[in-house]
A = this chain, B = another copy of it.
């Protein structure tokens, strides 16, 4: 079986065997059987436990050799000491895609190293593959399946992640990953293998890497080069610092190598490197929900001039531009501004043009729409950022609720990224805006601009601009 078919058995199993699953329901959050049932996984589940007939209403098997023939994926939950013999037995019984959850192997002591060699020898002989050890395995929200010990919030999303203990990044409401491959300590399946699966996976349009080290450098470079021609790869490579590298060594046994080497490899492959967890959140949302930027021009609608100035600074910092508007656009906007107002240009001060226009906020929505459409029709506008402060919600929030206007605009202008920053926590408006699948509400204007700049950068990588 080639890598891609092995990966499909891991990621899209019709049947899963759980070896060493606990009968305990006390710590049930740590029981993959209970978790699979709670997600609503519709494939077959075969728990193996010598001292039970059923667990949580599911028939159990006493021995690996008694398992039905149709097992696609095997998850081994036994402690490290007994795991190599369990792996051997699995291989002998024709189980070919195996997840080893336990830790304490090559990342630990001499005994662990030797136990790991034993496992690897078994699978090499039998043509089987292992994900792990020290892993939570795989998640595929499209079939309501996760092998993670922890119970997660599973939700379909076009963002796929290859991680080394990606647990903290799963299941939270801002980070939705449709597919997760936790390669763990990579005794066999590595980042390159996982990339091979996500490359042609039609359900995944953005690939995130969260890794401490990469093995098989040339294999990784070859496949990454192919992936980035189809979909973006965003990489959070930790263990950057000397101290971090030491911590990674004790955590996943990764030899992390010099950080500059990773910079060079990522650049060569067209991979976008992430500086921190918030960039992972922002950029993956941007790539999964927004069209690419076809040029550098950002038009800004700010509330108060100060955030406009801060946004202009951010554009320059991240290589974007805030182009001057055409006379036509300026004149159409000026009609809305009070007569002695400041000169109208990009960034547009909404407070000026609308808030004070006759001091009549009831005109706000129509003026807002007129300005936004004027900006979107400007040739130099490749993206629009709209900044709204939450204090508007304190007083007649209906007047300021632009969500219905935005639904209409987002439906009409699908080729230009239109994004938001809401200053302060105006949850109600944020939720309404986020119901539109082709926008993102960012937590600051600087973060919005940084994410937009990556939509331009990837256009360059792809040779679109």
Distance in Å from the Cβ of A314 to the closest Cβ of chain B?
8
- With A30-B359, A172-B389, A394-B151 as given contacts, are A103 and B342 in contact (CB-CB < 8 Å)? yes
- A444 CB within 8 Å of chain B: yes
Across the interface, do B251 and A305 meet the contact criterion of CB distance under 8 Å? yes
In the complex, A107→B252 CA distance in Å? 59
A236-271 residues with Cβ-Cβ distance < 8 A to B are 236, 238-244, 246-248, 250-252
Closest to A108 in B: B342
Q: B residues within 8 A CB of A24?
A: 359
Identity of the chain B residue whose Cβ is nearest the Cβ of A300 in the assembled complex = B247
Q: A286-323: which residues lie under 8 A (CB-CB) from chain B?
A: 303-310, 312-317, 321-322
Copies in the complex: 2
Q: Determine whether A413 belongs to the interface, using a CB cutoff of 8 Å to chain B.
A: no
Contact with B along A335-355 (1 / 0, CB 8 A): 000001111010101010001
Q: How far is the CB of A20 from chain B (nearest CB, A)?
A: 12
Judging by beta carbons under 8 Å apart, are A81 and B248 in contact? no
State which of B104, B173, B248, B308 has its C-beta within 8 Å of the C-beta of A251: B308
In the assembled complex, A80 has its CB within 8 A of some CB on chain B: yes
CA separation between A346 and B392, bound complex, in Å?
45
Q: Are A243 and B316 touching (Cβ within 8 A)?
A: yes
Assuming the contacts A250-B342, A359-B22, A396-B29, asked whether A423 and B391 have C-beta atoms less than 8 A apart, the reply is no
A197 in contact (CB, < 8 A): no
Supposing A238-B310, A243-B322 touch, asked if A277 and B26 sit within 8 A by C-beta, the answer is no
**Alpha-carbon distance A416/B301, docked complex (angstroms):** 43
Question: Chain B contacts of A351 at CB under 8 A?
Answer: 167
Q: List chain B residues, Cβ under 8 A from A29.
A: 361, 392, 394-396
Closest A-B pairs by Cβ, 6 of them:
A172-B424, A241-B316, A251-B305, A244-B313, A29-B395, A104-B340
- A345 — which chain B residues lie within 8 A by C-beta? 250
Collect the chain B residues with CB atoms within 8 Å of residue A396's CB.
29
A58 vs chain B, min Cβ distance (A): 19
Are B104's CB and A445's CB within 8 A? no
Interface readout for A209-246 with B: 1 if CB under 8 Å, 0 if not?
01010000000000000000000000010111111101
Other 9 A-B pairs with CB < 8 A, given A174-B425, A247-B305: A171-B394, A239-B309, A239-B313, A243-B312, A244-B312, A246-B312, A247-B309, A251-B349, A277-B310
In contact, A312 and B359 (Cβ under 8 angstroms)? no
- Which A82-99 residues have C-beta < 8 A from chain B? none
A392–B310 Cα gap in the complex (Å)?
Answer: 37
Please determine whether A309 and B26 come into contact, CB atoms closer than 8 angstroms.
Answer: no
13 CB contacts below 8 A, A to B, read A26-B359, A26-B360, A27-B360, A30-B356, A108-B340, A168-B306, A168-B389, A173-B425, A243-B313, A244-B312, A247-B305, A276-B310, A277-B310
What's the minimum C-beta distance from A22 to chain B, rounded to whole angstroms? Answer: 7
Look across to chain B and name the residue whose beta carbon is closest to the beta carbon of A356.
B30
Bound Cα distance from A108 to B27, whole angstroms: 67
CA of A242 to CA of B322 in the docked complex: distance in angstroms?
A: 11
Interface size on A, residues (CB 8 A): 97
Asked whether A303 lies within 8 Å of B168 as measured between CB atoms, the reply is: yes
A388 nearest in chain B by CB position: B168
Is B165's CB under 8 angstroms from A306's CB? yes
Contact residues in B for A150 (Cβ distance below 8 Å): 391-392
- Which one of B167, B238, B343, B387 lies within 8 Å of A168 (CB-CB)? B387
A43 interface residue per 8 A CB criterion:
no
A128 within 8 A of B: no
Given contacts A309-B247, A360-B27, whether A276 and B168 have CB atoms under 8 Å apart is no
* Contact A104 B306, beta carbon cutoff 8 Å: no
Given known A-B contacts A29-B396, A169-B423, A309-B239, A278 and B443 have beta carbons under 8 A apart: yes
Question: Does residue A164 face the partner (Cβ distance < 8 Å to B)?
Answer: yes
Which residue of B has the minimal Cβ distance to A310?
B238
Specify which chain B residues have a CB less than 8 angstroms from the CB of A142 in the assembled complex.
none
Does A170 reach chain B (CB closer than 8 Å)? yes
Given the complex, which residues of B lie within 8 Å of A355, measured CB to CB?
A: 30
Q: Mark contacts of A128-155 with chain B using CB atoms, 8 A cut-off: 1 yes-contact digit, 0 otherwise.
A: 0000000000000000000000111100
